[in-house]
Amino acid sequence: MTHSLFIDGSWRAGSGGRTGDVFDPASGTRIGDVAFAEAADLDDALAAAHRAFAGWANTSAYERAKILRKAASLARERAEDMAQAILRENGKPLAEARMEAGGAGDHIDWFAEEARRTYGRVIPSRQPNVEQKVILEPVGPIAAFSPWNFPVGQLVRKIAGALAAGCTIIAKAPEETPTSAMLLVGCFEDAGVPAGVVNLVFGVPSEISAHLIPSPIIRKISFTGSVQVGSLLGEMAGKHIKRATMELGGHAPFIVCEDVDLGTVVPLAVGLKFRNAGQVCAAPTRYLVQGPKFEAFLDGFVAGAEKLKVGAGTGDGVDMGPLTHARRIDVMSELVEDAVARGADLKTGGARIGNAGWFFAPTVLANVPEDARIMNEEPFGPIAIVNRFETLDDAVAEANRLPFGLAAFGFSKRTDRTHAMATRIETGMMSINHFGLAAPETPFGGVKDSGYGSESGAEGIMAYLTPKLVSQLNG
Ligand code: NAD
């Protein structure tokens, strides 16, 4: 599929003819290619996003919302095609791929509705006959970078948020999983979004960011990915005075107090860890369990991990698919070896499964010392740490020890404990006694090294708007 760039309303190949390989992670075989953009293609995308901005920003919010709602309907109609593409290129089980693709319409609809609620305000003046109002204007053309772990879920928030606000966008979607991103962009195209408003590119990520971010046409960056790359792009955004939203890595604590019912907590704990083979920025990594429940939780968690059926996402009853990248297999092995060498107990898993495809066994490490790499680095894979704590103060201190602050989970029947966790843990998102993250209507984002800004929720559209004061003397 070499016509994978969408620039100024047309699908095309890269002008230099360069392409990248696309793999099936379940077999490790090459299944396609993706066109790479050259500087000339990026210049065309910049010119298109610039040209289209005036028209789109001046299209009424009512009209933009109508077009977005049409895109949402198309996304629902085409959800199965997107799910099959996610399954093939990302590797997650079909049920997960369907849930991701099926949610795209809801995200677009949310932003369509928010477009109509971008209210400004009137500020009482100090002088008679002066009217002071604040109006919200679209920031301008956006450069967005979205990753491969949720090829549709991450991209849709950026495109729909930008378009709802009246911005145009150049999205660099993941080279590993291009097809579902193309199908998603096709929904906006067929809904009648004017040429140049949405542009889709693939290529060498560092070339694309180095070209787009300094361009005076681009007014804002939105990036989802690792802390390292986020820091690099943030530096560029700072140098060129560009607004930025950064959704970076996490290392979520999952605190289990001694008063909980393990019968409900353990299955949820297992499900959250191994969803998308652990390649989720908000996935729990450090399970911190209060002394009296430690052994029972650990036994239940290990049993749950061992019961998971690992295989190609197409298989019947498969719970966990492969890792999306071959290179992540080595990282997983290194993290396990390092933890064990430092004294951690490997309770289950710890190794690659087979040699076709990129499968890594659901892995549980217990009693992991603080100096182990995995206690400090985001695994972004199917490895869980289960450690013991005695007092809630200890658990909160451990939760806050790392520079990450994306998601945290807390379980207790006592409201003094849940309140303490909700208020004292340094995190952008806190989920208590259930899993409650990532709905279109709730803000998604982190603090500390996990980034800044929110996607989704009422905050999601604000990220693409800028306030303008209009002060007018009447009469
Ligand atoms: P990576 O750091 O090489 O890439 C992460 C993402 O950033 C990819 O989508 C990549 O295309 C993009 N990227 C890389 N260099 C870039 C550049 N110079 N300019 C613009 N974009 C660039 O890591 P990886 O091996 O692909 O993924 C593993 C790590 O990435 C994990 O450890 C995890 O922390 C992070 N990650 C986070 C998320 C998330 O949802 N926050 C998603 C995917 C990956």
For residue 196, the model assigns a pLDDT of: 98
Tokens of 27: 């077999």
Q: Which atom of ligand 1 is nearest to the CA of 379?
A: 32
Average pLDDT of the residues in 248-257 = 97
Helix (H) or strand (E) holding 252: strand 252-256
In a domain, 377, yes or no: yes
Q: Is the CB of 226 under 6 A from ligand 1?
A: yes
Could you tell me the pTM of the whole model? Answer: 0.97
Q: Is the CB of 229 under 6 A from ligand 1?
A: yes
If asked whether residues 403 and 457 sit together in one domain, one would say: no
In a domain, 444, yes or no: no
Ligand 1 centroid–CA 223 distance in Å is 9
Q: Into how many domains does the chain fold?
A: 2
| Interval 188-224: pLDDT, tens | 999 999 999 999 999 999 999 999 999 999 999 999 9
If asked whether residues 265 and 344 sit together in one domain, one would say: yes
Domain with 213, as residue range(s), is 5-248+449-473
| Interval 268-289: pLDDT, tens | 999 999 999 999 999 999 999 9
Q: Is the CB of 205 under 6 A from ligand 1?
A: yes
In this structure, the number of other CB atoms found within 10 A of the CB of residue 368 comes to 24
Name which of 381, 445, 430 is nearest 248 in CA terms. Answer: 445
Burial of 361: CB neighbours in 10 Å, binned 0-12, 13-18, 19+: buried
Helix (H, G, I), strand (E, B) or coil at 404: coil
In a domain, 293, yes or no: yes
Residue 235 CB partners (closer than 8 Å, separation 6+):
none
CATH of the domain at 238: 3.40.605.10
If asked whether residues 293 and 188 sit together in one domain, one would say: no
| Interval 24-65: pLDDT, tens | 999 999 999 999 999 999 999 999 999 999 999 999 999 999
Q: Which atom of ligand 1 is nearest to the CA of 325?
A: 25
Ligand 1 centroid–CA 296 distance in Å is 36
Tokens of 43: 């210049």
For residue 348, the model assigns a pLDDT of: 98
Q: Is the CB of 202 under 6 A from ligand 1?
A: no
Ligand 1 centroid–CA 225 distance in Å is 4
Q: What mean pLDDT is reported for the chain?
A: 97
CATH of the domain at 320: 3.40.309.10
Q: Are 457 and 436 in contact (CB under 8 A)?
A: no
If asked whether residues 241 and 296 sit together in one domain, one would say: no
If asked whether residues 372 and 300 sit together in one domain, one would say: yes
pLDDT exceeds cutoff 70 at 1 = no
If asked whether residues 432 and 456 sit together in one domain, one would say: no
For residue 113, the model assigns a pLDDT of: 98
| ipTM tops 0.90 | yes
Active-site annotation holds for 247: yes
Q: Which of 167, 187, 257, 281 is catalytic?
A: 281
Ligand 1 centroid–CA 79 distance in Å is 25
If asked whether residues 121 and 152 sit together in one domain, one would say: yes
Q: pLDDT tier at 3 (50, 70, 90 boundaries)?
A: confident
Q: Which of 247, 378, 426, 455 is catalytic?
A: 247
Q: Is the CB of 147 under 6 A from ligand 1?
A: yes
Average pLDDT of the residues in 173-191 = 98
Rounded Cα gap, residues 389 and 233, in angstroms: 37
Q: What is the DSSP string of 254-275?
A: EEE-TTS-HHHHHHHHHHHHHG
If asked whether residues 223 and 265 sit together in one domain, one would say: no
Most ligand 1 atoms within 8 A of CB, residue of 226, 227, 242, 452 to mutate: 226
Q: In what order do the strands lie in the sheet with 465-473?
A: 121-123, 130-138, 465-473
For residue 315, the model assigns a pLDDT of: 87
| Interval 338-362: pLDDT, tens | 999 999 999 999 999 999 999 999 9
Rounded Cα gap, residues 295 and 272, in angstroms: 20
Q: Which atom of ligand 1 is nearest to the CA of 206?
A: 18
Ligand 1 centroid–CA 227 distance in Å is 8
Q: Which residue's CA lies nearest to atom 7 of ligand 1? A: 225
Average pLDDT of the residues in 250-268 = 98
Q: Which residue's CA lies nearest to atom 42 of ligand 1? A: 225
If asked whether residues 217 and 312 sit together in one domain, one would say: no
pLDDT above 70 covers a percentage of the chain that reads 100
| Interval 386-416: pLDDT, tens | 999 999 999 999 999 999 999 999 999 999 9
Helix (H) or strand (E) holding 42: helix 39-57
In a domain, 126, yes or no: yes
For residue 471, the model assigns a pLDDT of: 98
| Interval 309-334: pLDDT, tens | 999 999 889 999 999 999 999 999 99
Ligand 1 centroid–CA 30 distance in Å is 21
In a domain, 118, yes or no: yes
If asked whether residues 334 and 413 sit together in one domain, one would say: yes
Ligand 1 centroid–CA 64 distance in Å is 31
Average pLDDT of the residues in 164-193 = 98
pLDDT exceeds cutoff 90 at 141 = yes
Q: Is the CB of 453 under 6 A from ligand 1?
A: no
Q: Is the CB of 310 under 6 A from ligand 1?
A: no
